[in-house]
Structure formats: structure tokens, C-alpha cells
């Protein structure tokens, strides 16, 4: 995995874990870009995803497992001068991860992956039926390359458009 500083690592983890969905980009079977929103789990620099056993994305990934997965912290509109359009900024942070999808076939490992996905959304604990595990496709993406950027760091005179939302 690409080397990042401890500070960058903390920011990357914070942005990823704040998200409810990610966007998974791949190359479809016609060689065209194809991006879908998905739920996810994240643990030890591995992104976990799940889907139906069949579909366009599966066909695409069986041909080319390379993916680019993006996460974006909830953006906030800020401005320095309310009357000047060019002083408006979208403040937020994003993370871009690149890697390859490996489909997990082991029954118990699939359960562990699903637990990690569920943990992203709830503290509840779950049991799974055998058919539900067999019918789900679990994707594991070990991150090969990752980058993060923070945008619209505010000027001291700037204002947050969404005043009720917490600072990023
Ligand atoms: C908030 C959210 C979370 C989701 N989480 C998951 C998840 O965790 N796992 C999962 O498998 N799916 C999830 N989905 C659905 C996902 O985005 C795809 O629709 C789904 O995975 C099927 O993809 P496919 O390529 O196999 O579709 P196919 O059935 O092969 O798609 C056929 C065609 O339908 C169109 N299409 C497919 N998906 C979408 C879409 N999302 N929006 C618009 N057009 C589309 C495309 O043009 C595609 O070529 C989520 C969707 C949303 C909105």
C-alpha cells in the first residue's frame, strides 16, 4: 500500500468512516467507465462491498478487477464575500482509493466481511442464514493506492452556508 503519513492516514480513515456510501468506478465490458453507488465496510485498509451474485458490475469485474473507489465528507458551502460568486467555496474532504476486487468465496470469511459492512451502519449484531450467505457476492478491495485532499479551507472572514452543520 502507498505510504501515507500518520496525519494523512487519520484523515483518510475519518473521511471514509463518516460516509454512508461510496462510489465504485470500474471499466465495463465495453471498455467504458462505469460507476455505481454502494454501501461498504472498512477495516485495516480493506474496503468490503457486497452485491448480488450476477449483474453488469460482476461481468465487468470478472474481466477487469481494477476499481477506483471515492469517498467524500459531507460538503459545506462557504463564502468570503456574500456578493461575490468567485469567493464561494465548497468545503470538504475526499479520498480516492485504487485497488483490485477479489471475490471472497469462503463462507466464514463472507460472514466476517458482512459483519464489517453492517458495523458501518449499526451497532446491532446479526446472524445470517446459509442461503443468504451463498446468494451474496462479497467483494474485498485491498487499497493499493490512496490519496486525500481537503478543499475550501476557510478564510477567517468566511461564513458557513449551513450554519447548523458541524465543522469538517
Ligand atoms: C445508496 C445506494 C446504495 C447501494 N448499495 C449497494 C450495495 O451495497 N450493493 C449493491 O450491489 N448495490 C448497491 N446499490 C445499487 C448499485 O448502485 C447498483 O445499482 C447495483 O449494484 C446493480 O449494479 P449492476 O451493475 O450489477 O446493475 P445491472 O442490473 O447490470 O445494471 C443494468 C444497467 O442499469 C443501470 N444502473 C445500474 N445501477 C444503477 C444505479 N445505481 N443508478 C442508475 N442506473 C443504474 C446501468 O445503466 C446499468 O448498465 C446501491 C444503490 C444506492 C443508490
Domain with residue 49: its CATH number is: 2.30.110.10
Euclidean distance between CA atoms 112 and 114, whole angstroms? 6
**Residue to mutate, 21, 31, 36, 53, ligand 1, most ligand atoms under 8 Å from C-beta:** 36
Distance 126 CA to ligand 1 centre (A): 24
Asked if residue 118 belongs to a domain, the reply is yes
Asked if residue 76 belongs to a domain, the reply is yes
Per-residue pLDDT reduced to its tens digit, 96-155: 999 999 999 999 999 999 999 999 999 999 999 999 999 999 999 999 999 999 887 655
Asked if residue 140 belongs to a domain, the reply is yes
Asked if residue 20 belongs to a domain, the reply is yes
Decide: 39 and 51 in contact? Cβ < 8 Å: no
Asked if residue 97 belongs to a domain, the reply is yes
Asked if residue 134 belongs to a domain, the reply is yes
Asked if residue 81 belongs to a domain, the reply is yes
Among residues 104, 102, 114, 134, the alpha carbon closest in space to that of 43 is found at 114
Give the 3-state secondary structure of residue 7: helix
Parallel, antiparallel or unpaired: strands 76-79 and 136-151 = unpaired
Per-residue pLDDT reduced to its tens digit, 7-29: 888 999 999 999 999 999 999 99
Distance 49 CA to ligand 1 centre (A): 12
Host domain of residue 139:
6-149
Domain count, the chain: 1
Amino acid at each position: 500500500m502507498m505510504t501515507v503519513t500518520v496525519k494523512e492516514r487519520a484523515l483518510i480513515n475519518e473521511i471514509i468512516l463518516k460516509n454512508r456510501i461510496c462510489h465504485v468506478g470500474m471499466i465495463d465490458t465495453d471498455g467504458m467507465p462505469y460507476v455505481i453507488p454502494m454501501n461498504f465496510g472498512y477495516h485495516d485498509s480493506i474496503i468490503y462491498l457486497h452485491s448480488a451474485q450476477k449483474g453488469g458490475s460482476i461481468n465487468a469485474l470478472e474481466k477487469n478487477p481494477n476499481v477506483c473507489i471515492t469517498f467524500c465528507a459531507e460538503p459545506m458551502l462557504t463564502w468570503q464575500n456574500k456578493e461575490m460568486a468567485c469567493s464561494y467555496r465548497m468545503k470538504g474532504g475526499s479520498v480516492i482509493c485504487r485497488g483490485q476486487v477479489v471475490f471472497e468465496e469462503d463462507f466464514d470469511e463472507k460472514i466476517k466481511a458482512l459483519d464489517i459492512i453492517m458495523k458501518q451502519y449499526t451497532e446491532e449484531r446479526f446472524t445470517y442464514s446459509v442461503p443468504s450467505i451463498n446468494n451474496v457476492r462479497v467483494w474485498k478491495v485491498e487499497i493499493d493506492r490512496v490519496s486525500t485532499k481537503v478543499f475550501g479551507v476557510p478564510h477567517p472572514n468566511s461564513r458557513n452556508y449551513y450554519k447548523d452543520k458541524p465543522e469538517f
